[in-house]
Structure 1
Amino acid sequence: MQKLLSFVILFSVYCNAQNPYPEDYFRNPLDVTLVLSGTFGELRSNHFHSGLDIKTQRREGLKVYAAAEGYISRIKISHYGYGKALYITHPNGYTTVYAHLQKFSPTIEAYVKKLQYEKESFEIEVFPNSDELILTKGDVIAYSGNTGGSGGPHLHFEIRDNEERPINPMLFGLDIKDTTAPDIKNVYAYPINEDSHVNNSNERQKLRLIRLDNGDYTVENLKAFGKIGFGVEANDRQDLASNNNGVSNIQALFNGNMKFEIDFKRFSFDETRHLNRLIDYEHYKTKKKRIQKLFVEPNNPLSMYKNLDNDGYLTINDSIASVYKICVKDFKNNNSWITINIEGNKSQDIEQKDKFSSDFFIYANKTNELVDKTIEVHFPQNTFYDDFFIDFRVQNDTLTLHDDTVPVKNNFSISYDISNYGPEDSDKLFIARLVGYRKQYTIYSPTYRKDNILTTSTKTLGTYALVSDNIAPTIKPINVSEGKWISNYRYLKIQIDDKESGISNYRATINGKWILMEYDYKTKLLQYDFNDKVSTETKNNFKLIVTDNVGNSTTFETMFYRK
């Protein structure tokens, strides 16, 4: 009993560090109770979540408040990503970020629209001076929305330090009701090299979890030998939300000694893509489940690791019994434990891992070039984390470039020589990634042409092909038509789409004057606010030109009346 008490006291030293952040400086950016749909550091596609996703009761238009005094230092509006976003710099050196906004407060909205009309662009990024848009704590700055890459109405809220590193806003005193321990979904054991094995196999092993009466877990005893590691799949859930969120901290101990810790309190945007080195990327791409590896592989620069012993790897000796423990915590220090009893057992009959081999080998620390017929692939140095055999095949204009189960650190390029195409055909070509079970769907990969060479830059392995787009975008008027009176409408609405290469740009005018049409790519809707008062005429000529990514364009014109 005394031994157990000493262990708990020692472990609490690891778990509880003094909070260096001011806990009463920032207020809740909304008036509603804080309920989260996304937590800080949560594992997302190719990145860690950099803030809190605060639920807005499934609706838009909630008032968004300045979390503290300061000035608006950046405004960015984009079709994708954060949509409409505001950045406030505060006297204490921190910056708060408010994203997916529906609209800004009247003063900020007027400031932004003036610039949009000057630049004739809906998408805009501006950095106001410190004396232009000054705020006091609690000022209404915007209204919550669903713009950009948002999957539903919510407010994305961040706090960044003076080096632009996002920090968990809960460290600043924003309180979320959470008395529920994290949920352990699965745990895995990894033989690391050819000489190591788990349960007579050299492949990753899923261990059978056993839930104990106290809510913690154990697994069926396992036999292992050599250098091994573990991985865990876990989620957290707050009291007032039913959705699964990310955990805050994971620690592992081997025979009572700390081996590994990862703490999701702060990171930098430069490192966020290296999430793909933390997780078992191949498992995620094939099973859509994220296993967090509790060991640090080579070329992993993540800064969230702490208290590492031998990078979290274990050495299991023959005939020696040992105990491995995993503690998964949420921000409120609710925790779930996994105890794994390991029997050291060197086996002579090992099931070896299947290994892929090809004629093409990639050296991670070197530049690599792959060429076949009219296609060339260029991998700069340090594109990948590891050396590996790559599946490289060309059939006509289709390139098989392995599959998307190998994580990519940096951009690489794919180039096609299209000299054998005539001028009319070549003008409509683009490079696409083929997806779907039968590779039947195309995704436009940004394509650039120089003479007869088409090139795309990407961070995704997979199947690529040359695709021709001869179909112009479609334009569907929603509430306007030839000769129609639309005096009772505040908004002019048009739906646009392009099934092939996708929409590149659009331009709309009324009586020859450019108008601001906001674009929501999720609904494919363009919308003009008549309150902008570009035209006060009764008779109005509306013209819209939409262009896709290979230059096909469609023009829509109509005359409408309005008083």
Structure 2
Amino acid sequence: MTKKIFTLFSLIITSGLWAQPQVPEEYFQEPLDVPLVLSGTFGELRSNHFHSGLDIKTQQREGLNVIAAAGGFVSRINVQHYGYGKALYIQHPNGYTTVYGHLKEFSPEIEAYIKKIQYAQESYEVEIYPEAGVLPVNQGDLVAYSGNTGGSGGPHLHFEIRDGNQRPMNPKLFGINVKDSQPPTINSLYAYPIGEDAHVNGSTRRQRIRLIPLNDGSFRTEQIDACGEIGFGISAIDKQDAAANNNGVYRVQANLNGDVVFDMNMDRFSFNESRHLNQLIDYEYYANNRSRVKKLFVGPNNHLSIYNTVVDRGIVNVQDSLNYIYSIKVTDFSGNEKMVRVQIQGKQPAVKPEKRQPETDYFVQANQAFNVDENGIDAYIPKGSLYDDTYLDIKFQGDTIYFHKDDTPIHSNITLGFNVSDYPQEEREKMFIARLGYGGRPSYNSTTKKGDRFTTGIRTFGTYTLAKDTRPPSITPVNFKNGQWISGNSTLVIRIADDLSGIKSYRATVNGKFILMEYEYKNNTLTHKFSDGVVTDTENNLKVIVTDNVGNSSTYEATFFRK
């Protein structure tokens, strides 16, 4: 019966997927007018998500011309402190959308359009969906300048192509070419005993398999002894010419005795499945080693669309006294490839290894909701929050819950609740739910306060407690002093910081009039551009108010002069 179920799963996962999409290969042009060199590829494994575009290097500087990859109209403008920072979306007549992220600023026409809205809303962060005729563009038009805004680790352009359902697609499918003559690099290979009585080389735990290089650039391994249901995982990267970055690979295929049993590639995915990346990787290994290993087998609750073929969930059922050849081919988009050949001998161990079962008092089934309430702290785990049935290690002590190790992934929010009835109201106002990090330092978790109960949603296991923040944020001028003439300045820069609960909001005025200030969280600065034309008087009274996440507030006031 088990074999029939696995085969049915294989048929479903194979027949439900598309072949390589048919797309217009010469419709889009490159979005920069410099040679394309990548720091990130489509579908790369990132923290809790697949990378949804290409990260294009901008020669370690900001301000390069960003041009429309095709004609259409600006359909969305999103300006935020984090994420894509300043981002532009262009909808094209063929139904596709291109996305340009981490921008320094927009083209003059678009910049004036969005600035007007920011001042009207008195907010730096805005999200606008212009109508089709408001901001039309032609292919090759200047639409923005490259930058480093949002969650960017250095100057570059994030570029996406999305289909009509807003699913990101690999831009290389459309002819956006990057020179790549180098094959992928295979860093490591692992074997996993999966079945109840399975073993690899006499062990019931994950085993690293030594790779032996061959003259043709491929690898073989030493023979492994195994029995029962086992699977494999691989760590691999790819490099493009003219760049040293370790990028993601395009395709991984596995064969068993010459037949394809696993095949996945990165052509397209949906944002609503991106967090399922944590099912593709060996999450426990990643949490403890900060290295991602792709599993070449599929769990029962894994519904990722990136698989082309999966036979019997990618699991190899090794029978005693039989021999198997398992081969893996890793390929980049340009067709460069690297191979590994694994020889498996079915062999029962002389002494049956014991499989550790880390049982606790709290067993959570992935397809059922779970609730625990003790010592004034409660946790609610909705159905589907976990990928697998799991024994959770949960301990309560005072206002603290030790909530399992963070090497088990959480898919959707788990709710933690704390009873705060023992605390006076004035103390509660400065309290919040915190996750304790390395060294026991608390970090703010978004906290909802209702009566005697604080709640928060979490997507990472760990230790959570109640913390208190009574110190207001700091505000420090950077490029001016109180009473100073600053006629030569093009900007007004202020540094703001909060050492515990974090910055929630800020507001700046000059002579009582709102001024737009751009918050750059990576260096804790607020910047106003005098080119906005709001500051026109000679004598100017500046007022900046900054508030943290529990309501502590600081006010800075100064006078400056301009001609």
TM-score for both structures, normalised by structure 1: 0.96
Over 3 Å counting, the alpha-carbon distance change for 1:19 and 1:390 in structure 2 is: closer
CA displacement, residues 420-457 of structure 1 (integer Å, 9 cap, x when unaligned): 01122111001111111x3x222211011011211111
CA contact (8 A) 2:385 2:414 kept: yes
Deviation of 1:308 after TM superposition, in Å, equals 1.6
CA contact (8 A) 2:21 2:267 kept: no
Pair 1:309 & 2:315 matched: no
| Counterpart Cα distance in 2 of 1:194 and 1:313 | 13
> Residue 463 of structure 1 aligns with which residue?
463
Partner of 1:384, secondary structure, is: coil
CA contact (8 A) 1:433 1:444 kept: yes
After TM superposition, list the pairs within 5 Å mapping 1:134-213 onto structure 2: 134-213=136-215
> Residue 345 of structure 2 aligns with which residue?
343
| Counterpart Cα distance in 1 of 2:113 and 2:476 | 31
- List gaps (5 residues or longer) in structure 1: 1-16
Give every structure 1 segment of 4 or more consecutive aligned residues whose post-TM-superposition deviation is greater than 6 Å. Answer: none
Deviation of 1:247 after TM superposition, in Å, equals 0.2
After TM superposition, list the pairs within 5 Å mapping 1:341-490 onto structure 2: 341-436=343-438, 438=439, 440-490=440-490
| Counterpart Cα distance in 1 of 2:275 and 2:164 | 21
Pair 1:274 & 2:276 matched: yes
TM-score for both structures, normalised by structure 2: 0.96
Pair 1:558 & 2:558 matched: yes
| Counterpart Cα distance in 1 of 2:379 and 2:324 | 48
CA displacement, residues 338-393 of structure 1 (integer Å, 9 cap, x when unaligned): 00011110124133343322111112111111111111111111111111111111
> Residue 233 of structure 2 aligns with which residue?
231
> Residue 265 of structure 2 aligns with which residue?
263
CA displacement, residues 440-492 of structure 1 (integer Å, 9 cap, x when unaligned): 22221101101121111121111111110000000010122221101100100
Deviation of 1:18 after TM superposition, in Å, equals 6.5
Pair 1:494 & 2:494 matched: yes
| Counterpart Cα distance in 2 of 1:461 and 1:170 | 37
CA displacement, residues 375-425 of structure 1 (integer Å, 9 cap, x when unaligned): 111111111111111111111111100011111111111111111011221
| Counterpart Cα distance in 2 of 1:472 and 1:435 | 22
| Counterpart Cα distance in 2 of 1:355 and 1:508 | 58
> Residue 125 of structure 1 aligns with which residue?
127
Supply the AA of the counterpart residue of 1:428. Answer: K
Partner of 1:307, secondary structure, is: strand
After TM superposition, list the pairs within 5 Å mapping 1:294-305 onto structure 2: 294-305=296-307
Pair 1:47 & 2:41 matched: no
| Counterpart Cα distance in 1 of 2:174 and 2:180 | 16
CA displacement, residues 98-124 of structure 1 (integer Å, 9 cap, x when unaligned): 000000000000000000000000000
After TM superposition, list the pairs within 5 Å mapping 1:30-41 onto structure 2: 30-41=32-43
CA displacement, residues 139-158 of structure 1 (integer Å, 9 cap, x when unaligned): 00000000000000000000
CA contact (8 A) 2:482 2:560 kept: yes
| Counterpart Cα distance in 1 of 2:350 and 2:548 | 61
> Residue 106 of structure 2 aligns with which residue?
104
CA contact (8 A) 2:477 2:493 kept: yes
After TM superposition, list the pairs within 5 Å mapping 1:494-533 onto structure 2: 494-533=494-533
| Counterpart Cα distance in 2 of 1:350 and 1:57 | 58
| Counterpart Cα distance in 1 of 2:437 and 2:358 | 22
Q: Which moved more, 1:226-235 or 1:355-364?
A: 355-364
Deviation of 1:278 after TM superposition, in Å, equals 0.4
CA contact (8 A) 2:20 2:267 kept: no
Partner of 2:427, secondary structure, is: helix
| Counterpart Cα distance in 2 of 1:80 and 1:171 | 29
| Counterpart Cα distance in 1 of 2:405 and 2:512 | 49
> Residue 63 of structure 1 aligns with which residue?
65
Partner of 2:286, secondary structure, is: helix
Q: Which of 58, 80, 87 in structure 1 is aligned with 2:82?
A: 80
> Residue 330 of structure 1 aligns with which residue?
332
CA contact (8 A) 1:203 1:352 kept: no
CA contact (8 A) 1:202 1:351 kept: yes
Q: Which moved more, 1:59-68 or 1:302-311?
A: 302-311
CA RMSD of aligned residues (A): 1.1
| Counterpart Cα distance in 1 of 2:548 and 2:411 | 30
Q: Figure out how many residues of one structure are paired with residues of the other and give that number.
A: 546
Partner of 2:112, secondary structure, is: helix
Supply the AA of the counterpart residue of 2:42. Answer: F
